[in-house]
Structure 1
Amino acid sequence: MSELIVRTRDNKPNIIGITEVKPKANRYKPSTAEYSIPEVGNYKMFEKNIKSDEGRGLLMYVDSNLEATEITMKTEFQENIFIKVKLNQNDKLLVGLIYRTPSNSSKEYNDKLVNLMSEATDMGYSHILIMGDFNYPEINWETWNTKGDRPNST
């Protein structure tokens, strides 16, 4: 957490996304308050799977000066957070944070991820930012393919 605080003080980002917040050996269950970063300014925190035994946990911090609201996606995918940020009267930013576990490479799981991304791009936002840990090696962003032995790869 100390490195996050230093980098946030130095760079002053408007949005921070963190995947795999909880350790793999999930015996210790930190409280939500332990993930706050008041030392670096005012950030609104959005979280997923922090308090539960499910998943590895996601955190998204958004500068409190931005008008940000969490939205629920229709596509069921275990670890994702999506927020909308009002930029001005006509422009809205959709920000997504996604963690795709490497331990599940089934076609059904990968199809859910593709459906989630499609849903995000079809929502009519003027700007979209999707970030996270997709655990796909050597992504080709032009063709949306990867090299390797995983489903949907080339």
Structure 2
Amino acid sequence: MNIPGYNLYTNDLHATNTRGVNVYVRRTLNSKRSIPIVTNTYNDSVWIIVNGSRNSELLIGCVYRSGSPEVARQYETNLLETLIWAANTACSHKLIAGDFNHPGITWTPAPELPDRVNTSSPQSKFVECVRGSYLFQHITKPTRYRSQQTPTLDDLVFTNEREMIVNMLRLEPLGASDHIGISADFLFTPSSPPMNKTTPNYNRGDYESLRNALDIEWKRELAGLTAQEMTNIIEKNITDAVEKHIPTRKHQTTSGDYTRKPLWMTRTAYQKTKRKRNLWIRYLNTKDNSDYQQYIKARNEATHANRRARRDFESKIAQESRHNTKTF
């Protein structure tokens, strides 16, 4: 079904044992299909990349895992490989949602398995995959309600950072479905369409002609005028002279198209800061003391790396400003 104003992305409906998985993306967004680079393709999924501001990218994934244990087990490896691929992409923002049919897992939001679950079971492998991928799961209450059956939590929403989703709401089921609807706001700034911007090219200006154009007998020109009238005349003369004697150049600009990292942040400091953030997310999922200790170590390393990078940057500016004041 096509929705006006949206692009439809769907999975391969002709593949074996697949269901219809669709993602609608507003046409005003710069989006494209992404093909997972994995050994075994998981056909019951769709992946899209949306370009954002400041060179950011959003990876959107929609997944369906079969409710049939036999079918699900047959393609379990494919699903896990695809999730690991998604978690390791270079995209700054990741949003993965779908019906995973793992009702035995409790999310608080950290995943918890029932007692005496075999470590080789699909549930255990799925939980380990989520923990190892540093993904945060946002749904904690049942999403599937069927008459005379215990409600289950089958539908999951993952992001690579906890703060990316806000205002999550539970809605009425769509049509005759026994799954509730989920609505949420995802914090991501899409890229703006390129704009043709014209700016003066002062390097190629005809300053001799500009000087002659502004060689005006201002005392006579401004005699008897109010301050505001004088300002308007001076501004008009300067503007006209610049437009006539200074050429322009055109270039495309995109809103927000600049790096988010501070000027002082080195690659090492950035990597250590990113590792600190990932380990914190892992601890939130596991609540394990060893993971917390790893986070503490990474936090200290990131703090020292950032302080060192800032100090070296400021020292470099101070040294260079002695010979080049523009550096400061």
Fold similarity call, TM over 0.5: yes
Match of 1:132 in 2: 98
Per-residue deviation, 1:124: 1.4
Per-residue deviation, 1:71: 0.8
1:41-80 equivalence runs, <5 A: 42-50=5-13, 52=14, 54=16, 55-75=18-38, 76-80=41-45
1:95–1:53 CA distance, 2 compared to 1 (3 A) = closer
CA contact (8 A) 1:136 1:146 kept: no
1:147–1:136 CA distance, 2 compared to 1 (3 A) = farther
- Quote the Cα distance in structure 1 between the aligned partners of 2:113 and 2:100: 11
Aligned length: 114
Unaligned runs of 5+ in 1: 1-34
- Quote the Cα distance in structure 1 between the aligned partners of 2:106 and 2:55: 33
1:20-59 equivalence runs, <5 A: 35-38=1-4, 42-50=5-13, 52=14, 54=16, 55-59=18-22
Match of 2:80 in 1: 114
Q: 1:95 aligns with which of 47, 55, 60?
A: 60
The structure in which a higher percent of residues are strand is 1
List structure 1 segments (4+ residues) > 4 angstroms apart after TM superposition.
145-150
| One-letter amino acid of the structure 1 residue matched with residue 47 of structure 2 | F
Relative to the length of structure 1, the TM-score reads: 0.64
Local SS of the residue matching 1:132:
strand
CA contact (8 A) 1:98 1:133 kept: yes
CA contact (8 A) 2:50 2:57 kept: yes
Relative to the length of structure 2, the TM-score reads: 0.32
Local SS of the residue matching 1:78:
coil
Local SS of the residue matching 1:113:
helix
CA contact (8 A) 1:84 1:95 kept: yes
CA contact (8 A) 2:21 2:46 kept: yes
The structure in which a higher percent of residues are helix is 2
- Quote the Cα distance in structure 1 between the aligned partners of 2:60 and 2:48: 5
Local SS of the residue matching 2:79:
helix
Match of 1:83 in 2: 48
- The structure with more radius of gyration: 2
Pairwise CA RMSD: 2.4
How high is the sequence identity, in percent, across the aligned residues? 25
Per-residue deviation, 1:56: 1.3
Per-residue deviation, 1:109: 2.2
2:68 maps to 1:105: no
Q: Deviation per CA, 1:3-33: give whole Å up to 9, x if none.
A: xxxxxxxxxxxxxxxxxxxxxxxxxxxxxxx
| One-letter amino acid of the structure 1 residue matched with residue 72 of structure 2 | S
Q: Deviation per CA, 1:89-110: give whole Å up to 9, x if none.
A: 321100001111122232x522
Per-residue deviation, 1:78: 1.9
Q: Deviation per CA, 1:120-150: give whole Å up to 9, x if none.
A: 011111100001111111343524x654979
1:68–1:121 CA distance, 2 compared to 1 (3 A) = same
